[in-house]
Chain A
Amino acid sequence: MPQDARSPYPTPPIRRLRVYAFDPQASTRLDTASVNVATIKLPWETAHEDALKPGPINDYLEVIDVDPVSDQFYDAVDLNDPHLLAQDGLAPSEGDPRFHQQMTFAVAMKTIRTFERALGRRIFWAPTKINGAYVETRRLRIYPHALREPNAYYSPDKKALLFGYFKASSREAGASWVFTALSHDIIVHETTHAILDGLHRRFAEATSVDSLAFHEAFADIVALLSHFTLEEAVRAEISAKGGRLDERSLMSGLARQFGHATGRHGALRDAIDPKVDGQPDATLLGRLSEPHDRGAILVAAVFDAFVAIYQQRTADLLRIADVRPDPQVRRTLHPDLASRLAREASKSAAHVLRMCIRALDYLPPVDVRFGEFLRAIVTADADLVPDDALNYRLAMIEGFRRRGILPEDCLSLAPDSLMWEAPLDDALRLDELTLSFRPMARRDDAMTFAEEQRKAVHAWIMKPDNDSGDRIWQSACGIVFREGLVPGDDRRTIVQWPAPPGGAPPQTQPKVEIHSVRASRRAGPDGQELQQVIIEVTQRRRGFRTAATQDAEEKYSTAIPAAPDFIFRGGATLIFDLQTRKIRYAIRKRISDDGRLRRQREFFVAYQTSSFGFQYGLAERNATGEIKEPFALLHRGA
C-alpha cells in the first residue's frame, strides 16, 4: 500500500518534476534559455499502484544508474523526499546524476501516459523469452549512463533503455560532456521504441525496407510532436516566426545538442524536408533504404499534416489580427495572439499524435508498410470521429501523397477507399467466446488477466467447428488452421506442432500464435464511446534463401524439415465491436501469399547476405556474424 494511504491529508493529484525542455545546450543560448526548463506533471500514484521508490522505481519503470565504464553506481534519487516534493524535483543540472535519473523517469513516464490516453488502455512491455517460454516484463529498465559513446538504444534483449554519454569534440555542443539521457527527444524516441515493441513485437523484424524504418519514424514522430506540449517554448517560437511553423526551427529539429556534438552543425534530424517549388521530392522514398533516412520521409509526411491542420485552425485568428502569411513580412505578434496560436499548435499536435498512436491498433501484426500506416490512421480516425469536419484525414493523406507514400491495392486516395474493408460475413462473431473486460485497477492484475484472455482466445479459435464455418475464419485470419480445409492455402513450410514422440504419425497441425488480446475504450469528441477488442493472430513459415530450396521444401516429405534461413510470418489483426460482438476489420497478411514471401526473400538476400549485390559478406553483422542492436540511435562504427 502506498505510504500516503495512511496520511491524514488528501492525496495530491499530480507530481511535478522539472526537466530540460530540449537539452542542456538550449540553456546556454540566450534565445532558448528562458524556455528550456519545463515541468512535467505526472498523476500521483493511485491506491492501486505501488508507491514510488528511490531509483525512481514505479509500476512501469526502474531507473538503475550503474555506470560500468567508470565503475560507479550513483545514488538513486528519492522523489518523495520532502525537499524535492517542495521544489518540483531537482533543478536541471548536468553535474548531478540524480537529476539525470529524474529526467529520464519523468520524460519516459510522460510518453507512457500519452500512449495510454490515446489507446484507452494500459501499455505493457514486450515479454521476454527465458528458457523458451515468454515471461512478462514488469518494468522497463532505464540505464542513464550505460555507455560511454555517442549513442543510445532500446535493447529488446534486455528490455532496457541504454543511454550513452561522451566528451564532445565540437564546441557547438556547449558542454564538454554530452549526456543523451538529458535530451528530451532521445528519451522520448527510445521510450517509444520500447512501447512499440510491446504492442507489436514482430515489427522489430527486418522483413522489408519499411519495417525498421517504421520503428524509427514512429519514435521520431512522437518525440517531435511532444515538443508542442511545452507551451512556453511553443509561444516563444511562434512569436519569433510570426505565427508560422513550416520552417526549420527549434521545434522541428530533433536532438540538437547531440547533432552539434557529433559534427552535424544542427539537429540530428529535422522534420521539415527540403522542398523544390514548395513540393517535396516524391521519388526520394524509392531511392533510400537506410532505416533512419527512410523513416525521415514518413516523419516529414506526418509533420506536414500537422502544419496543415495548424494553419487551418489558425487561419481565422490570423485574419482577425490582420496577419498575412507572407514569408517576407514578419510582424511582431500581439502576446495574446501568440498565446492563442500556441494553444492551437499544442492542440493540433496532440490531435495528430493521437491519430498516429490510435492507428497502431489498426496495423497488421507483421511486416508493416508505410502505406498501411496511412490506411490505419484513416480507418482508426474515421471509427472514432465519423464526421471529419476539419478535414484532418485529408491533411494526413495529402502529406503522404506528396512524398510518394502510397498504399498498395487501393482504388484511390479518397478517405473512404483508404479505409480497411470490413468483412461482410455475419458468421464472424465473438458469440461463443466469453470475454469479460472489466477494468483492472492493478497493473499486475491487468497483465495476468491479459495473459488469461490470450489463452482463452487461443483455445476458442483453435476449437474445430464445422468446415464451412472454419473456412470463413481461415479466410479472415489469413492463416491455416488445419490442413485440407482450404487446399489452396496449405503450404508445407508452415511451422507445425512437433510430432508426438514414440513414432506416431506426424501431426499436421499448423502452429497458431495469439499475440495479444487487447480491449480498448475510447471516447470520441461528440461523446460517443468505442469499445473494441483487438486480437492479433499469427503463424510462421520457413523461408529459404533460394527459390529452388523453397520449392523443394514445399513438396511433401516425411523427412525432418530443414532449418529455415529466415522466418516468414502471416496473420491478421482482428478488430471486434464489443457492443455488437461483430467483426469490424480483419487486417490481413496471408501466410500463403507466395508473392510476399518472394519479396521478403529478395529483401533478405539483399539486406543480409550480399548487401545489395556488392560482395560476399554479411554487412549488417559484426565480424562474428552477430546482428547489431537494431534500435541504435547511430550505427556504431567510425
Chain B
Amino acid sequence: MAKRARTAPASSVRIRMYRGILGDCFLIQTSAGGATKSILIDCGVLQNVPSGEKLLETLDETVVAFAGRDALAAIEAGPDRIRAVVADLLETVGYHIDLLVLSHEHYDHLSGFALMKEAFTDPRLRIDRLWLAWTENPEDPQAAALQALFGKGRQALARMAAATQLPGAQADEKLASAAALAAFMGPQGAGMGAAGAMTTRATIEMLKARMGSGAISYLEPGRVIDLSDLGLRRAFVLGPPRDESLLRKDAPTPGDAREVYLTNADYVATVDSALRARFAAHGAEDDGAVTSYGDAAPFARPHLRPTDSVRNAIGSSREGATDAEPASVAARYFDARNAWRRIDGEWTGAVESLALKMDSDTNNTSLALAFELNDGQMLLFPGDAQVGNWMSWRNRTYPHPRDASNAAEKPLSIDDILRCVTFYKVGHHASHNATLDKLGLEKMTDRRLVAAIPVVEAVAAIQAKGRKTPGKGWEMPYRPLYARLQEKTNGRIVRGDGVPAEEQRAFQKSPTDPKRPARLAYATRPEGLWVEIAIPTGEPGG
C-alpha cells in the first residue's frame, strides 16, 4: 500500500488524482464526524496504451523524438498501471466507497472497473450509492433512443477498426485517426469482446447489478443534492442537457447559423454501408453480419469490374512513363505521374468524421457536477463535457434545497457557482474543445483556483496520425488552454505526467491562501502513483 507522505490538516477535503494514465480516476475524501468518507469519480485508462519499451520499438524515431524519449520510456502499460491504481484505491478507502460517480461511457473513464472486475464484484467491497447521468436510465425513452443510436454508431466504428486490418488500409491516415478515437469506445461485441475484454456498456451494467435498486440515482440537470452525510454541503448537477441540439453540439456555431448537418442515424447508416462494402470487396468475415450482395456495389453484376483485375489488365506497360497520354481511362488513373489525383482513400473522410462525432457526442453525455464544500468553495468535475453541455448550464438556476434554513435564499446561477470554483478537473485531458472559455474558465475568478489535468502528454502525442507523423497526434493539453490555465491558477496545476517537485514549488511560490494554503502530497510507494491536493475548508459561509 502507498504511504501518504504528509498528513493533511484536519478540516480539509482531499482530492486524489491517479497519475501516469491517459484516463480519469479521482477520489475525494472528507472526514465527517470522525469517519472518513470516500467519493470515487471514474476509473479508467485508454485501452491501447502499451508499455514504454514497446512504444519505443514500434514508433518511428522522429515520432519518439517529438513525444520525448524519456517520457515514453517512463510509461507503464495501461492495464498494468490501472491494476496498481485500483489496488491502492481499494486499500485507501478500506473497501468502502460511499459514493461512486460514473461520468460517461468512455473506456478511459471505465476500464479500471472492467480490468479489475474481480475486485469490483467482490462482495466484501461496499459501494453505498451510484450516480449516473439520466442518459443511462433504461426507463427513460429519450435516453433509450440515444443509447440505441450510439449502439449503432459503436458497431459501425468497431467494424471500422476491423477494417483497418484489411489489406492496404493500414496506410490510410484518416482510418488511423478514426481507429484511435475508437479506442475511447473500448472493446466491442456482445457483453464480452473477442479477447474476453468487457465493453463499456457491460461495465456499467456490472456495477449497476451489484447495487440495490434504491442506491442508483439517474441525475437530471438542475438537481441539487444534500451531501452533509459525506462531509460536503451539496452537489449541483449541471449536465448533461435534455435539449438534444445542445447534446449534439460539440463545436460552437457562429452567430445564428444553422448548420446543414445530417441526422446522426443517416450518417451512421452511410458509414456502415461503406464499411460493409469494404468487407464484401475483400471477401472478409465481418463478425457475423451477413454482407448481402446489395451492400457490395450499387450496380448489378454485369456492370461490375473489380479494380484489381482492371489494374492488372493494364499491366506494367506504364512503368517507363513517356510523355504520351495513357490510352485507357484506367491507365490514366493508375499513371504514376498522376498519383496525386487518385481518390482511393477519400471515402474514409466520412468514417473519420463519424468517429469524431461519436466521440464528441458521448463526451457531451458527461455527468457534470459541482461539489460544494461547507465554506462555499466549489469543486468542478465536468467529466469530458463539450460545448453543448457547458452551454446548457446557463439555461437554468440551481435552487437551494427546500429546508427551512435556506428557504429565503435566492437560487444560484451558473456564474455564481463558477465564481466559487477553487478546484477544476480539466475536461477531456485539456483538449481544445472541452473547456468553454468566456462563459467557462474566465468565470472562475476565485484566486484560490487550482487545476488537475489527467493527462500523459507523450501518450496523447502518439495517437491517431501522430503515430506516424510527429506533431499530428492529439494535442493534450492544448497549448493556448494550458497557457490560460497557468495564468488563472498562478501555475497551480497538477498533471498526470507532472514533475512533483515542480508542482510543489508552484504551490509554495503562490499559495492559494497565505495562512491555510492547499497542499500537495504524492504517493511514495509506488512512487508517483497519485497526487493529492488537500483543500482547507473554513467556517461555513459562501
Contact = CB atoms under 8 A, between A and B. Distances in A.
Interface of A: 54-55, 57, 62-76, 95-98, 128, 130, 141, 143, 145-151, 155, 157-160, 162, 165-167, 169, 177, 179, 262-263, 287-290, 292-293, 606-607, 609-619, 622-625, 629, 634-638
Nearest to A634: B260
Given A70-B277, A290-B258, A615-B435, 8 more contacts: A73-B310, A98-B303, A141-B341, A148-B350, A613-B437, A616-B437, A616-B480, A636-B349
A68 B343 contact: yes
Interface of B: 177, 181, 248, 251-271, 273-274, 277-278, 280-282, 296-300, 303-308, 310-311, 328-330, 332-333, 340-341, 343-347, 349-350, 352-354, 356-358, 361, 387, 391, 431-433, 435-439, 464-466, 472-474, 478, 480-481, 484
Given A74-B299, A288-B257, A614 B307 contact: no
Contacts of B433: 615-617, 619
Nearest to A268: B260
A616 B437 CA distance: 6
Contacts of B298: 70, 145, 165, 177, 179
Contact of A149 (B270, B281, B484): B270
A62 B329 contact: yes
Contacts of A629: 349
A636 B174 CA distance: 13
Contact of B181 (A63, A613, A623): A623
Contact of A55 (B253, B262, B270, B329): B329
A325 B268 CA distance: 48
B425 to A, nearest CB: 16
A60 to B, nearest CB: 14
Contacts of B347: 68-69, 146-149
Contacts of B478: 616-617
Contacts of A169: 265-266, 269
Given A57-B329, A160-B343, A66 B252 contact: no
Contacts of B310: 73
Contact of A143 (B258, B343, B437): B343
Contacts of A95: 299-300, 303
A167 B263 contact: no
Given A71-B307, A95-B300, A97-B303, A150 B262 contact: yes
A638 B307 contact: no
Choose among B271, B299, B354, B361 the residue with the greatest number of A CB atoms under 10 Å from its CB. B299
Nearest to A620: B251
A623 B466 CA distance: 11
A468 to B, nearest CB: 47
Contacts of A71: 277-278, 281-282, 306-308
A618 B353 contact: no
Pairs A-B, 3 closest by C-beta atoms: A617-B432, A638-B267, A290-B257
B372 to A, nearest CB: 26
B349 A612 contact: no
A72 B304 contact: yes
Nearest to B311: A73
B437 A74 contact: no
A466 to B, nearest CB: 46
A607 B310 CA distance: 45
Contacts of A290: 253-254, 257-260
A151 B484 CA distance: 39
A629 to B, nearest CB: 8
B299 A96 contact: yes
Contact of B354 (A63, A155, A263, A638): A638
A67 B273 CA distance: 14
B44 to A, nearest CB: 20
A616 B432 contact: yes
Nearest to A617: B432
B464 A624 contact: yes
A147 B346 contact: yes
9 contacts: A69-B278, A70-B281, A97-B303, A149-B350, A612-B254, A613-B437, A614-B436, A634-B261, A637-B261
Contact of A624 (B177, B265, B278, B438): B177
Given A148-B277, A623-B464, A611 B341 contact: no
A262 B303 contact: no
A286 to B, nearest CB: 9
B329 A54 contact: yes
Nearest to B479: A616
A158 to B, nearest CB: 5
A68 B298 CA distance: 12
B329 A622 contact: no
Contacts of A613: 437-438
Contacts of B270: 148-150, 166-167
Contacts of B349: 147, 629, 636
Contacts of B332: 57, 62, 64
Contacts of B255: 287-289, 612
B262 A263 contact: yes
Given A150-B266, A611-B251, A68 B345 contact: yes
A67 B463 CA distance: 30
A55 B258 CA distance: 39
Contacts of B305: 72-75
A155 to B, nearest CB: 8
Nearest to B357: A638
Nearest to B299: A97
Contact of A635 (B261, B273, B297, B354): B261
B523 to A, nearest CB: 31
Nearest to B261: A637
A582 to B, nearest CB: 43
A65 B329 contact: yes
A71 B256 CA distance: 42
Given A62-B329, A73-B310, A624-B472, A162 B281 contact: no
B294 to A, nearest CB: 8
A611 B254 contact: yes
Choose among B265, B271, B353, B473 the residue with the greatest number of A CB atoms under 10 Å from its CB. B353
A262 B330 CA distance: 33
B263 A638 contact: yes
A190 to B, nearest CB: 14
B389 to A, nearest CB: 12
Nearest to A612: B254
A51 to B, nearest CB: 13
Contact of A167 (B262, B273, B329, B473): B273
Nearest to B338: A141
A290 B437 CA distance: 22
A95 B299 CA distance: 6
A148 B343 contact: no
A613 B253 CA distance: 10
A623 B177 contact: yes
Contacts of A288: 255-257
Nearest to A613: B438
A73 B262 contact: no
A257 to B, nearest CB: 14
Contact of A162 (B346, B435, B472): B346
A263 B267 contact: no
B441 to A, nearest CB: 8
B352 A69 contact: no
A131 B273 CA distance: 37
A549 to B, nearest CB: 14
B296 A70 contact: yes
Choose among A54, A73, A145 the residue with the greatest number of B CB atoms under 10 Å from its CB. A73
B481 A149 contact: no
Contacts of B432: 615-618
Given A70-B281, A622-B353, A638-B357, A611 B257 contact: no
A637 B353 contact: yes
A588 to B, nearest CB: 29
A162 B345 CA distance: 12
Contacts of B259: 290, 635
Nearest to B430: A616
Contacts of B277: 69-71, 148
Contacts of B330: 73
